[in-house]
Structure 1
Amino acid sequence: MTYLPGAAPGMKRRSPLSSPRDGEAPADAVPIDAVPISGAPRKPAISKRTTPVPFDAAEDYDPEGFEAELDDADESTDAPERAEKLLLARLRGRSLSRVEAEAVLRGADLDEVQTEEMLDRFTELHYLDEAKLADQILHSHHERKGLGRTGVELEMRRRKLDPNVILDKLEEIPDDEEERAIELAVKRVQQLARFDEQTIDRRLTGFLMRKGYNSSIVRVAVKAALASRGGSGGGSKVRFR
């Protein structure tokens, strides 16, 4: 188990919503998997999962199991404790933006003040961390899946990240869109050898557009891919740095 700064083995665990007493470590020293609910005795984990789901796997994550267990186990729990427990359960499964976390709390019978206080507290503890979530999206969608700037931006907006966070993270994307698109197209064209050039052109164009590359870059990449196979798209060789 990895402890946040200031934590130590054997340190008393407290709810993320309770304030630290004199002489105690702050609540943000507690790892998320170890947080009890509102000072209650330590209970078994809500889910069989004891570690967060990797970001890529989280796309297939279904939180219904968490909610069903909470419905069965917490009928007598008051609204703030139940809301805290529900939000922690979701965060053990995947990272959330603040808007997504707010949507989780809508069914917890909290008023607006309680909801904002809980969101602020989870943000203070970095359980809600939009910059970190944006970094995860950059890694999974840009570096691993090869999406272009537009594709990455669409995913960040779909996850309802703060617009300022999105702009900051998009500026971190290297200015190599054209080279990345060409590399993807050259790899893809090898799988389309059985088709005629017009079909290859159409399929490559659709493939790159879905990846989030703009039309001008797509045309350059498709032409380079056709040239790399010795077709009528040109006879030059494609070179990469």
Structure 2
Amino acid sequence: MDERPAPEWLGDVTLGVEAWAGKQPAAVEPVEMTTKRRQPKKPKKPRPADPADPRNDPEPDHEAIARKILLDALTGQARSRKELADKLEKKEVPPALATRLLDRFEEVGLIDDEAFAKAWIASRQPGKGLARRALAQELRRKGIDDDVARDALDEIDPDDEREAGRRMVRRKLRSMERFDDQTKTRRLVGMLARKGYGAGVAYSIVREELSLADDDDAGDVVSESDL
């Protein structure tokens, strides 16, 4: 049995190829495996707190916040005291603070329910054709005191209210030519009732406008026959 020592290249492909080619294998220096250690990350320095950020204020200025809520709500339009009180309540402003600020806003004239009621009527009565009853309901929903609302409603001229109703009926009649007078009357009276007109006033307005419309139609027929 051949007990010659195993060649040095046994198990090493490079040395084996060189031995097979008749070359003297070069000495192979052992490679020292080194592991590079990862340097630990330096902790980030905390950012300084922004004093302007209310989240960084341990004791926020509740009064300043509530005042801003009121001023934002009043920007561009007047509001009743109840509307503003509801906004503060929704934002969970303490009741005592809310009352104090609302009183202060009234003192300087930023809240004025009397002026609000008059302005509301001036915009809704001619534009929407609302009568006293409908306007009174709207003011009540706005939280206006009944006495304050009554004083403002008393300034409405009955003739202006009636004329507003006539204009609405006149416009509506243009799209009701296919209906008979009974149907027209029922629908027009119902429309005026929804606008706050009493039954007597509504029927009177509708009868007048239907009569005028019939006279206009009769005039048109006569004019055509004269041609």
TM range (shorter): 0.5 to 0.7
For 2:75, what is the secondary structure of its paired residue? helix
What's 1:166 paired with? Answer: 149
Which sections of structure 2, spanning at least 5 residues, go unmatched? 1-51, 216-227
Indicate yes or no: 2:76 matched with 1:88. Answer: no
Alpha-carbon offset, residue 93 of structure 1: 4.3
Indicate yes or no: 2:166 matched with 1:182. Answer: yes
1:109 & 1:153 partners in 2: Cα distance? 30
What's 2:44 paired with? Answer: none
Alpha-carbon offset, residue 188 of structure 1: 2.5
Deviation per CA, 1:112-160, whole angstroms, max 9, x where unpaired? Answer: 3212110011111211111221122111111222211112111111211
What's 1:236 paired with? Answer: none
Alpha-carbon offset, residue 74 of structure 1: 4.7
Which residue, 97, 106, 116 being the options, matches 1:133? 116
Larger radius of gyration: 2
Q: How much is the aligned-residue C-alpha RMSD, in angstroms?
A: 2.2
Equivalent residue letter for 2:77: R
1:109 & 1:204 partners in 2: Cα distance? 46
For 2:65, what is the secondary structure of its paired residue? helix
2:111 & 2:162 partners in 1: Cα distance? 34
CA contact (8 A) 1:82 1:108 kept: no
CA separation of 1:189 and 1:131: change in aligned 2, threshold 3 A: same
Indicate yes or no: 2:133 matched with 1:150. Answer: yes
For 1:80, what is the secondary structure of its paired residue? helix
CA contact (8 A) 1:150 1:213 kept: yes
Deviation per CA, 1:141-181, whole angstroms, max 9, x where unpaired? Answer: 11222211112111111211122210110110112244443
Alpha-carbon offset, residue 92 of structure 1: 0.8
Indicate yes or no: 2:190 matched with 1:206. Answer: yes
CA contact (8 A) 1:79 1:108 kept: no
Higher mean displacement: 199-208 or 108-117: 108-117
2:165 & 2:113 partners in 1: Cα distance? 28
Which sections of structure 1, spanning at least 5 residues, go unmatched? 1-42, 44-72, 232-241
What's 2:204 paired with? Answer: 220
2:117 & 2:125 partners in 1: Cα distance? 11
CA separation of 1:82 and 1:186: change in aligned 2, threshold 3 A: same
CA separation of 1:74 and 1:224: change in aligned 2, threshold 3 A: farther
CA contact (8 A) 2:89 2:95 kept: no
CA contact (8 A) 1:142 1:148 kept: yes
Equivalent residue letter for 1:89: D
For 1:213, what is the secondary structure of its paired residue? coil
2:115 & 2:177 partners in 1: Cα distance? 41
The TM-score normalised by the length of structure 1 is 0.60
1:159 & 1:111 partners in 2: Cα distance? 22
Higher helix share: 2
Equivalent residue letter for 1:210: R
Equivalent residue letter for 2:180: D
Give the number of aligned pairs.
160
What's 1:9 paired with? Answer: none
The percent identity for this pair of structures is 32
